[in-house]
Amino acid sequence: SQLKVLDSGKRGTHAPDSAAVLSTKDAFEESFVRHVETTLARNMYNCDSLAAYQAASNTIRDGLLIDWANTQQKQTIQDGKRVYYLSLEFLMGRAMDNALINLKSRDNTKQSLNELGFNLEDVIHQEPDAALGNGGLGRLAACFVDSLSSKNYSGWGYGLNYQYGIFKQKIIDGYQVEVPDYWLKYSNPWEITRHEIQIPVDFYGYVYEDHDPNTGIAKKVWSGGERVLAVAVDFPIPGYNTPNTNNLRLWNAKPTEEFDFTKFNAGDYQQSVGAQQRAEAITSVLYPNDNFESGKELRLKQQYFWVAASLHDIVRRFKKQHKNNWTKFPDQIAIQLNDTHPTLAVVELQRILVDLEGLEWEKAWSIVTKVFAYTNHTVLPEALEKWPVDVLGRLLPRHLEIIYDINFFFLKEVEKKFPGDRDVLGKVSIIEESTPKQIRMASLAIVGSHKVNGVAELHSELIKTTIFKDFVKVFGEDKFTNVTNGVTPRRWLRQANPLLAELIAEKLEDPEYDYLTNLGNLKKLEKFVNDDEFLKKWDSIKFHNKKRLADLVKEETGIVLDPTVLFDVQVKRIHEYKRQQLNIFAVIYRYLRIKQLLAEGVSLEEIKLKHYIPKASIFGGKAAPGYYMAKTIIHLVNKVGDVVNNDPAIGNLLKVVFIPDYNVSKAEIITPASDLSNHISTAGTEASGTSNMKFALNGGLVIGTVDGANVEITREIGEENIFLFGNLAESVEELRHKHIYEGVKIPAALGEVFGAIESGLFGNPDEYRALVDGIRYHGDYYLVTDDFDLFLQTHVKLEKVFGHHGGDANDSDHLHSWVKKSVLSVANMGFFSSDRAIDEYAENIWDIEPTNQ
Ligand code: F58
């Protein structure tokens, strides 16, 4: 009934939506010119591509905001349950192209811009990436908000609006150099600052006991010592082919107006504002670690600042609708913790309910545990978050008390279940009795949540048998579940690979591209797998995408790639467990063998036919600034490239490229251009991986270990369409043990590679000492020696399948072996849409349904 009131009310029966602003060329052009003249205060005669980007995005944003407002109103009236996705990282990339695709306004906008004298692609390139994340975890959050909107859920993201995103990577003399990413240099048209939403967040201070004047009951009061304001900044998230437009709310830290009068009165004006100036530091920079926790106090401050602001916002909204009807809280609200970073939210909600709202402990706790659920993204011990008790207690004294109370009540239950079992108590305790004592954030997240999930089947099984096995004893199996990751096909197929998306739409007789929200429809591609014309078209699109990547590589590195060779790609964060070192060692081996054959008088042509097909090894990815070993790997790749690429005897038989500053917008060019991509982590270490899904969805074949989502990809696309190799997760422990007790055996081929490195072929061997010695003398923790020969053998096998087609689309061997596998992969990748993942979270964890549109 309220809906009716709305419809006949101020909005009128024909509420405008984005379509009205964007669907006609006249409307677009009018708005564009208006923004040039008013918003930008320029004129059409001095409007360059950057100004055109700003005017165009303001126009698109106007359209989005209408959908956004309508959506929020509709969701408020329907009053259904909403999910809040709490993530310290949202690796969004560019917004404009994505908005145009989701609003189905790309063609119109392209034409309009043409008429105004601009080229859409040039305009799109003006936008800086919103790089507010490190890697997979941050990009997953970005895919998930896209799916929440596209599948008509009511779901908001909450995060931080870092002024500096992940650093930009330069390669100088083969070394990584970090440069700050000041992405907000030109104001950001996609963000709407909500100056009216300012939430005070307190730190430090002390706790005292007070008595309720009415009941006389004692209660704890926290008097904070430092106050910072959280200002809301909103990013509308358009859904694909639906007006549903959710919100991503990121917080900015700002000083309060209060300042230190004692200092001021003592004549120290500078000092009196100093503390306030530091407020902004909280949201100034993203911590650049991937799968590693640094344990810095500022990081903890970021976490509490974000969590406190988000929860107060959520509670305020709830109270507006439902007053103090707290039992309804879990029916209205689900909160997903993206890793342990937001775990303080569990404590903060308990504090709000008990200290501020006066609920009894148990009642409050039963609400808290119904609301939260926790996603684990790693089993690596160095990435598991812990905070020293004294650090947390100084910053958040009341929260520390509450953590102790949570632990006390929890351990009491455990004690009941396992009487006298000190061992179990010690293992599941939220407090680690080490020196210094530490708070185990994963334990707190598990205790405070009703569900815990891993991100791929293998990973979800592993957490139950390793890091969380004692919690399975306490809570039972049912609390632990799996939701395999996914990627959004809007950005990772339609946007990144428009030609392939178009061919698919044509074959599926789906001119509206509805398959982008029903990715299972890809299955219908299977029936064309024997159609030569189709296979040729498919292959020519790959060739086109490879030329596009070759252009990027030329521009970025000066290296010229022949697009007819095998493009063998490994792009992801640089980490020992991801094993870029395994890949570059194999490349070195290949180079040595080619040189040897040439020395024996074998011609290049003969080598191509009998031994090695021509290929380009393409690397990319950032190393955490403090991660020496990762930086060493980057250096080695670049130095190998210098030697190989400048060796005139090799021709196009081998090239080695390191693409600097790998990011989302570069991934959009790299992913569709790969023939083969590497997902070769030590078994059991990569929780899921998501780029493996993107590559397979774009028709690139995968070489991979039996790890993370590779396992499910294999099940979906068939083992004949993927190149799996290597030791299994269940053997890892034993192999590591063997390395330590029997020594590491270096396979002959790897020994040659080490010999070449140590001979100085790639510059001063001391530079690579840690890398080589880590394998030879320090236990080879990531099992490079165990998988090296298997990796080489798998290459021999797959290169036979790729054939020697040399870009000739008429090569029928290549067409009928490799290209068929490519088609069959894509046809069976429907499962890996983030829409499916979000549906599973909605049904099994959040208990929410899509809204009515
Ligand atoms: C990644 N984790 C996993 N963490 O490594 C990857 O297997 C998985 O596919 C992906 O999450 C999504 O589930 C990851 O990216 C981080 O970057 C954290 C950033 C903050 C510090 C701790 C690591």
| Structural domain contains residue 547 | no
Max Cα–Cα distance, the chain, nearest Å: 98
Query: Among 275-289, 498-512, 532-546, which is the least confidently predicted range?
Result: 275-289
Q: How far is 201 from 226, CA to CA, in rounded Å? A: 8
**Terminal C-alpha separation, the chain:** 15
The residue type at 88? L
**Closest ligand 1 atom, CA of 690?**
9
Q: How far is 53 from 397, CA to CA, in rounded Å? A: 48
Q: How far is 851 from 427, CA to CA, in rounded Å? A: 42
Q: Are residues 308 and 193 in the same domain?
A: yes
Q: Are residues 590 and 725 in the same domain?
A: yes
Q: How far is 673 from 569, CA to CA, in rounded Å? A: 9
Q: Are residues 446 and 587 in the same domain?
A: no
Contact indicator for 142, 133 with CB cutoff of 8 Å = yes
| Average pLDDT for 341-363 | 98
| Residue 685: both structure tokens together | 């270490």
Beta strands in 419-510 (DSSP E): 431-432, 438-440, 451-454, 480-482
Minimal-distance CA residue to ligand 1 atom 19: 290
**Closest ligand 1 atom, CA of 134?**
17
Q: How far is 722 from 798, CA to CA, in rounded Å? A: 9
- Residue carrying the six token digits 């096995």: 469
Q: Are residues 463 and 568 in the same domain?
A: no
| Structural domain contains residue 109 | no
| Structural domain contains residue 501 | no
Q: How far is 3 from 741, CA to CA, in rounded Å? A: 72
Minimal-distance CA residue to ligand 1 atom 16: 290
How does pLDDT run across 718-768, given as a tens digit for each residue?
A: 999 999 999 999 999 999 999 999 999 999 999 999 999 999 999 999 999
Q: What's the confidence (pLDDT) of residue 651?
A: 94
Long-range contacts of 40-46, Cβ-Cβ distance < 8 Å, separation of 24 or more: 44/116
Give the binding-site residues of ligand 1, using a 6 Å CB cut-off: 134-137, 140, 289-293, 377-378, 383, 455, 485, 686-690, 708
How does pLDDT run across 628-660, given as a tens digit for each residue?
A: 999 999 999 999 999 999 999 999 999 999 999
| Residue 480: both structure tokens together | 């632990």
Count Cβ atoms below 10 Å from residue 777 Cβ, excluding itself.
10
pLDDT of residue 243 exceeding 70: yes
**Closest ligand 1 atom, CA of 140?**
12
| Average pLDDT for 824-835 | 98
Q: Are residues 388 and 275 in the same domain?
A: yes
How does pLDDT run across 519-539, given as a tens digit for each residue?
A: 999 999 999 999 999 999 999
| Average pLDDT for 123-146 | 98
Kindly report the average pLDDT of the chain as a whole number: 95
**Closest ligand 1 atom, CA of 383?**
22
DSSP structure class, residue 519: G
> Which range of residues forms the domain containing residue 638?
563-807
Q: Are residues 474 and 583 in the same domain?
A: no
Q: What's the confidence (pLDDT) of residue 428?
A: 98
- Which of 291, 337, 576, 627 is the pocket-test mutation for ligand 1 (most atoms within 8 Å of CB)? 291
pLDDT of residue 575 exceeding 60: yes
Contact indicator for 770, 628 with CB cutoff of 8 Å = yes
**Rounded distance from Cα 133 to ligand 1 centre (Å):** 10
How does pLDDT run across 356-389, given as a tens digit for each residue?
A: 999 999 999 999 999 999 999 999 988 899 999 9
Q: What's the confidence (pLDDT) of residue 657?
A: 98
- Residue 83 is inside which H or E element, if any? strand 82-86
- Closest alpha carbon to 298 in 210, 229, 395, 212: 395
Confidence of residue 141 (pLDDT cuts 50, 70, 90): very high
- Residue carrying the six token digits 């290459």: 795
Q: How far is 631 from 623, CA to CA, in rounded Å? A: 6
Q: How far is 107 from 127, CA to CA, in rounded Å? A: 19
**Rounded distance from Cα 270 to ligand 1 centre (Å):** 41
**Burial of 30: CB neighbours in 10 Å, binned 0-12, 13-18, 19+:** middle
Q: What's the confidence (pLDDT) of residue 216?
A: 87
Q: What's the confidence (pLDDT) of residue 809?
A: 54
Say how far residue 524 (Cα) sits from the centre of its chain.
Answer: 30
Q: Are residues 567 and 479 in the same domain?
A: no
DSSP structure class, residue 493: I
**Rounded distance from Cα 134 to ligand 1 centre (Å):** 8
Contact indicator for 814, 703 with CB cutoff of 8 Å = no
| Structural domain contains residue 174 | yes
Q: Please spell the DSSP secondary structure of 490-510, one letter per residue.
A: IIIIIIT-HHHHHHHHHHTT-
Q: What's the confidence (pLDDT) of residue 620?
A: 99
Q: Please spell the DSSP secondary structure of 333-395, one letter per residue.
A: EEEEEESSTTTHHHHHHHHIIIIIT---HHHHHHHHHHHEEEE-----GGGS-EEEHHHHHHH
Q: Are residues 462 and 572 in the same domain?
A: no
**Sheet containing 480-482: order of strands:** 192-203, 226-238, 245-255, 155-160, 82-86, 333-338, 372-375, 451-454, 480-482
Q: Are residues 358 and 477 in the same domain?
A: yes
**Rounded distance from Cα 687 to ligand 1 centre (Å):** 8
- CATH number of the domain where residue 611 is located: 3.40.50.2000
Q: Are residues 464 and 592 in the same domain?
A: no
pLDDT of residue 3 exceeding 60: no
**Closest ligand 1 atom, CA of 689?**
9
CA distances from 820 to 493, 567, 802, 805 (A): 19, 17, 11, 14
Q: How far is 643 from 848, CA to CA, in rounded Å? A: 57
**Rounded distance from Cα 710 to ligand 1 centre (Å):** 16
- Residue carrying the six token digits 């994340």: 133
- Residue 277 is inside which H or E element, if any? helix 269-277
- Residue 602 is inside which H or E element, if any? none
The domain total for the chain is 2
How does pLDDT run across 246-269, given as a tens digit for each residue?
A: 999 999 999 997 766 777 777 777
Contact indicator for 664, 91 with CB cutoff of 8 Å = yes
Confidence of residue 295 (pLDDT cuts 50, 70, 90): confident
**Rounded distance from Cα 178 to ligand 1 centre (Å):** 21
- Residue carrying the six token digits 């909107």: 149
Count Cβ atoms below 10 Å from residue 7 Cβ, excluding itself.
12
Q: What's the confidence (pLDDT) of residue 11?
A: 38
How does pLDDT run across 411-466, given as a tens digit for each residue?
A: 999 999 999 999 999 999 999 999 999 999 999 999 999 999 999 999 999 999 99
Q: Are residues 174 and 265 in the same domain?
A: yes
Q: What's the confidence (pLDDT) of residue 12?
A: 38
- Residue 246 is inside which H or E element, if any? strand 245-255
Minimal-distance CA residue to ligand 1 atom 2: 137
Beta strands in 173-241 (DSSP E): 175-179, 192-203, 206-211, 218-223, 226-238
| Structural domain contains residue 22 | no
Contact indicator for 832, 552 with CB cutoff of 8 Å = no
Contact indicator for 787, 726 with CB cutoff of 8 Å = yes
- Which of 137, 140, 287, 577 is the pocket-test mutation for ligand 1 (most atoms within 8 Å of CB)? 137
**Rounded distance from Cα 331 to ligand 1 centre (Å):** 30
Q: What's the confidence (pLDDT) of residue 259?
A: 67
| Residue 138: both structure tokens together | 């941050």
pLDDT of residue 783 exceeding 50: yes
Please identify every residue annotated as catalytic.
377, 572-573, 578, 690, 694
| Residue 81: both structure tokens together | 């349950």
- Residue carrying the six token digits 């990144």: 496
**Closest ligand 1 atom, CA of 485?**
13
pLDDT of residue 13 exceeding 50: no
Minimal-distance CA residue to ligand 1 atom 17: 290
| Structural domain contains residue 293 | yes
**Rounded distance from Cα 250 to ligand 1 centre (Å):** 20
Confidence of residue 111 (pLDDT cuts 50, 70, 90): very high
Percentage of residues of the chain with pLDDT beyond 70: 97
- Closest alpha carbon to 144 in 211, 243, 70, 237: 237
pLDDT of residue 10 exceeding 50: no
The residues that bridge with 725 in the sheet, in sequence order, are: 705
Q: Are residues 243 and 384 in the same domain?
A: yes
- Which of 306, 377, 382 is the pocket-test mutation for ligand 1 (most atoms within 8 Å of CB)? 377
| Structural domain contains residue 815 | no
**Closest ligand 1 atom, CA of 89?**
19
**Burial of 608: CB neighbours in 10 Å, binned 0-12, 13-18, 19+:** middle
- Residue carrying the six token digits 């591509």: 49
The residues that bridge with 193 in the sheet, in sequence order, are: 233
- Closest alpha carbon to 247 in 65, 17, 58: 65
Confidence of residue 30 (pLDDT cuts 50, 70, 90): very high
| Average pLDDT for 804-821 | 79
Strand pairing report for 333-338 and 82-86: parallel
pLDDT of residue 135 exceeding 70: yes
Q: Please spell the DSSP secondary structure of 555-578, one letter per residue.
A: HHH-----TTSEEEEEES---GGG
| Residue 419: both structure tokens together | 């009487």
- Which of 160, 290, 695 is the pocket-test mutation for ligand 1 (most atoms within 8 Å of CB)? 290
Question: Is residue 46 classed as helix, strand or coil in its secondary structure?
Answer: helix
| Structural domain contains residue 38 | no
